[in-house]
Amino acid sequence: MLKEKMEKALNEQINKELYSAYLYLSMSAYSQTLGMPGVANWMKIQAQEELTHANKFFDYIHERDGKVTLSAIDAVETKFGSVTEMFKKVLEHEQYVSESINKLVDISIELSDHATRSILMWFVDEQVEEEASVQDILDKLAMFDAKGHGLFMLDKDLGSRAFVDETQAE
């Protein structure tokens, strides 16, 4: 059974994951207006991943005989500037989520909740991958100054991303 402090923190994380999905859907829509269908695809896949993360927390709370409490999701931005500015915001957001996951690990350690700590380590690893993936895109954008053929090729590459539910790969 989950302790009240852990249950509350996990429910807050569900909200953050759902907010993340909403944010990436907004970025996907914005990317379409820029004529960047590949970037839009990447953002839409990212939104799907965030939904699976929210569901993983949702299911875990129930497995531990806890109560899921969903709360309102804050509104998100709808304009993000250039593709580079948008991916910088993605990196900042993923760093924020990483910090949030790390705080959950701290709570699990404080409460000697080894089961929750175990599942959280999956999220710690996932966040390392998320940040590295976004940094790789930012590095490529910097390489060709986010213009011309390089931007066209990156957009095409990002359009090939397909959704894989990594929460089920265990």
pLDDT of residue 169: 62
Residue for token pair 């759902």: 18
Rounded CA gap, 72 and 66, in Å?
A: 20
- The rounded mean pLDDT for the chain is 94
Rounded CA gap, 138 and 73, in Å?
A: 28
**Beta carbons within 8 Å of 98's beta carbon, 6+ residues apart:** 124, 127, 128, 130, 131
pLDDT of residue 52: 97
User: What predicted TM-score, i.e. pTM, was given to this entire model?
Assistant: 0.92
Of 62-66, 99-103, 159-163, which range is least confident? 159-163
Spell out the domains of the chain, with CATH numbers in brackets: 4-164 (1.20.1260.10)
pLDDT, tens digit, 9 for 90 and up, residues 5-28 = 999 999 999 999 999 999 999 999
